[in-house]
């Protein structure tokens, strides 16, 4: 796809996103004072809606049934309906355009982008942090395979769900370690994010309050390894470190390498050898509501979320990174997103090439 098409798409969606903020305020004000007293959850009968809102009300009722979402009272129901309605405006508008990706009213469709960021992000970039850099000569030169999908090679576990805990950094690091452990030993283990959340708290990492992947690698190397998820189960909240569990080393790493503001061709070379942890800017409403296709939408490079690249490829002529998220399988394409590769954005699409790292065994 030509670069000028992506520039036009970016400008158009950015304008639409800003406009939706105004639409949302108007919708909420109108709804709070004029919406009929509908039921507060999807399982109660609701009063007849006005003809002009019947379609969106029914769509919201269906969404409530599908997600099992329930609200405390009428005011909360009206508020969430207004937010849902404004998000649906964005979904329908983007899907009406000839973009290589689609949106949907997913499980996060009743949240504003600000609410979403506060609940599900947790990457904390430390600009003063120094670590052992990756050398471009580590992987190059050699001919890269045109397509890589580490899922097909048994090096990726099913998508996990961090819940409302800013532990994305732990999930990103663990997924990369699970991958390289499988590649080197032939064993795919499900390792413990909760050990990192509870125990890796004496550095810059702060459990559900955020952290970053390099510090997680340092902790695991210093501790002599990390235990399994079965041994130290995920709770989705900060807890007291279970020190007796720390001696159960299911997987070990010898170190790690970082790639900051790297060329995407070098990042491709790294991903061709193993899954790689990256930080991205996932704060846009389009990212929140992503469903399928190659994402080329509105995002910046203010890194706020840790994910793992588990492959790359091409779809309908658009190159993409295959990214494993930690928001459960009901988000995106069964928990994954395809993000444009070699985009014209500085630092890559959503800053994906700005802060990458990978563990070594």
Question: 171 and 163 in contact (C-beta within 8 Å)?
Answer: no
Question: Among the options 27, 168, 208, 299, which is catalytic?
Answer: 168
Catalytic-residue membership of 168? yes
Span 326-346, pLDDT tens digits: 999 999 999 999 999 999 998
Of 228, 232, 235, nearest to 250 by C-alpha is 228
Triad 226, 227, 233: Cα angle to 5°: 125
Residue 43: per-residue pLDDT? 37
Active site residue: 157, 305, 345, 350, which one?
305
pLDDT (tens digit per residue) in 44-71: 344 344 444 458 999 999 999 999 999 9
Cα(170)–Cα(188) distance, rounded to whole angstroms? 18
**Residue whose tokens read 């952290």:** 211
pLDDT digits (tens, 9 = 90+) for 244-256: 999 899 999 999 9
Token pair for 114: 């600000």
Closest CA to 177 of 192, 162, 166: 192
Domains (ranges, CATH) in the chain? 3-99 (no CATH), 119-360 (3.90.70.10)
C-alpha span between 65 and 87 (Å, rounded): 18
Q: Residue 143: what pLDDT?
A: 86
Structure tokens at 208: 């559900």
Determine which one of 78, 157, 304, 325 is catalytic.
Answer: 325
> Is 46 among the residues known to form the active site?
no
- Separation CA 25–CA 28 (nearest Å): 5
What share of the chain has pLDDT > 90, as a percent? 76
Query: Would you call 325 a catalytic residue per the annotation?
Result: yes
């Amino acid at each position: 796809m030509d670069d000028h098409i992506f520039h036009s798409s970016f400008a158009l969606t950015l304008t639409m996103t800003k406009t939706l903020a105004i639409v949302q305020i108007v919708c909420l004000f109108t709804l709070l004072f004029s919406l009929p007293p509908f039921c507060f959850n999807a399982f109660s009968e609701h009063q007849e809606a006005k003809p002009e809102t019947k379609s969106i009300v029914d769509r919201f009722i269906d969404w409530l049934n599908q997600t099992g979402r329930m609200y405390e009272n009428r005011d909360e129901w009206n508020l969430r309906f207004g937010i849902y309605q404004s998000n649906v405006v964005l979904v329908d508008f983007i899907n009406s355009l000839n973009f290589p990706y689609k949106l949907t009213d997913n499980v996060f469709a009743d949240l504003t982008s600000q609410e979403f960021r506060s609940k599900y992000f947790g990457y904390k970039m430390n600009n003063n942090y120094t670590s052992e850099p990756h050398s471009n000569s580590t992987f190059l030169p050699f001919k890269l395979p045109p397509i890589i999908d580490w899922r097909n090679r048994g090096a990726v576990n099913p998508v996990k769900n961090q819940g409302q805990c800013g532990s994305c950094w732990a999930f990103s690091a663990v997924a990369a370690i699970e991958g390289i452990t499988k590649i080197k030993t032939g064993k795919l283990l499900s390792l413990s994010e909760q050990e990192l959340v509870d125990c890796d708290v004496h550095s810059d990492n702060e459990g559900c309050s955020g952290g970053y992947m390099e510090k997680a690698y340092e902790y695991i190397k210093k501790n002599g390894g990390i235990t399994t998820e079965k041994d130290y189960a995920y709770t989705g909240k900060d807890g007291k470190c279970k020190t007796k569990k720390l001696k159960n080393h299911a997987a070990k790493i010898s170190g790690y390498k970082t790639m900051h503001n790297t060329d995407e061709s070098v990042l491709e070379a790294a991903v061709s050898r193993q899954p790689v942890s990256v930080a991205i800017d996932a704060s846009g409403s389009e990212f929140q509501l992503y469903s399928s296709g190659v994402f080329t939408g509105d995002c910046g490079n203010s890194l706020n979320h840790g994910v793992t690249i588990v492959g790359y490829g091409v779809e309908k002529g658009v190159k993409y990174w295959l990214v494993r998220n930690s928001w459960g399988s009901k988000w995106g394409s069964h928990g994954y997103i395809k993000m444009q590769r070699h985009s014209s954005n500085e630092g890559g699409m959503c800053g994906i090439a700005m802060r990458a790292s990978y563990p070594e065994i």
